[in-house]
């Protein structure tokens, strides 16, 4: 297994890396679509779990275009905004599915590294994750395009600059994550258990706690 030396910090993606909230996200969006259909006086369509998984890691506007290509931009924005509200409430109440050994691994890593999250989500999503699972104590900072309007790669760079990081790594599960790490010019660790398929990385993990063997 590839080992990385002199790492001072670890920046994580969220969906497909720390947890799987697909089921709750799917329920939230279908509730939103039902509300929208009632307001328009027609039958509701639903999105599937596979559809939700296929857009994980994309920014919110792109998710809207892929899931609802036949709607106007105005209607898409309305649905995405309302969907986010329902999603946050659902996640804060029920939580997602943490991958095995996430909390104990984060606790061990936090003793020797600074930890961060950068995700392509709406503002409020990471906070809902923290609220549901009480994991904010392990993280120093986090960022998302809902708050900055920046790409994932630019948000990683922002975290690096804001926290004066010298040798960070990025851990994620999609091709977009790998490209973001490339933009930020930092090593990428591929979480193979997540949602995506990636070919270029410096190390890969099949279980979250394998990070303890890779990062020193």
Distance from C-alpha of 180 to C-alpha of 183, rounded to nearest angstrom: 5
Higher pLDDT, 35 or 178: 178
Q: Classify domain 9-20+97-214 at the CATH class level.
A: alpha beta
Bridge partner list, 98? 19
Tens-place pLDDT, residues 180-207 = 999 999 999 999 999 999 999 999 999 9
Share of the chain above pLDDT 90, in %: 66
Tens-place pLDDT, residues 115-133 = 999 999 989 999 999 999 9
Domain ranges of the chain: 9-20+97-214, 22-94
Q: What is the pLDDT of residue 117?
A: 98
Distance from C-alpha of 118 to C-alpha of 66, rounded to nearest angstrom: 22
Cβ burial, residue 134 (10 Å; 0-12/13-18/19+): exposed
Bridge partner list, 141? 116
Predicted confidence (pLDDT) at residue 100 exceeds the cutoff of 80: yes
The pTM of the full predicted model, rounded to 2 decimals, is 0.88
Q: What is the pLDDT of residue 1?
A: 62
Mean pLDDT within 51-68: 84
């Amino acid at each position: 297994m590839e080992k990385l030396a002199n790492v001072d910090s670890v920046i994580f993606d969220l969906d497909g890396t720390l947890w799987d909230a697909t089921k709750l996200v799917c329920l939230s969006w279908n509730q939103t679509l039902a509300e929208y259909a009632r307001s328009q006086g027609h039958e509701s369509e639903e999105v599937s779990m596979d559809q939700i998984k296929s857009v994980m890691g994309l920014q919110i506007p792109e998710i809207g275009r892929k899931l609802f290509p036949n709607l106007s931009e105005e209607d898409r924005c309305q649905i995405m905004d309302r969907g986010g509200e329902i999603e946050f409430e659902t996640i804060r109440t029920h939580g997602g599915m943490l991958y095995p050994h996430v909390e104990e691994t984060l606790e061990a890593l936090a003793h020797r590294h600074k930890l961060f999250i950068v995700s392509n989500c709406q503002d409020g999503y990471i906070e809902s994750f923290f609220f549901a699972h009480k994991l904010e104590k392990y993280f120093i900072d986090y960022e998302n395009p809902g708050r900055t309007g920046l790409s994932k790669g630019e948000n990683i760079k922002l975290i690096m600059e804001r926290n004066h990081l010298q040798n960070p790594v990025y851990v994620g599960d999609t091709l977009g994550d790998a490209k973001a790490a490339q933009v930020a010019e930092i090593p990428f660790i591929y979480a193979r258990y997540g949602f995506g398929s990636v070919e270029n990385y410096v190390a890969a993990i099949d279980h979250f706690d394998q990070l303890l063997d890779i990062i020193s």
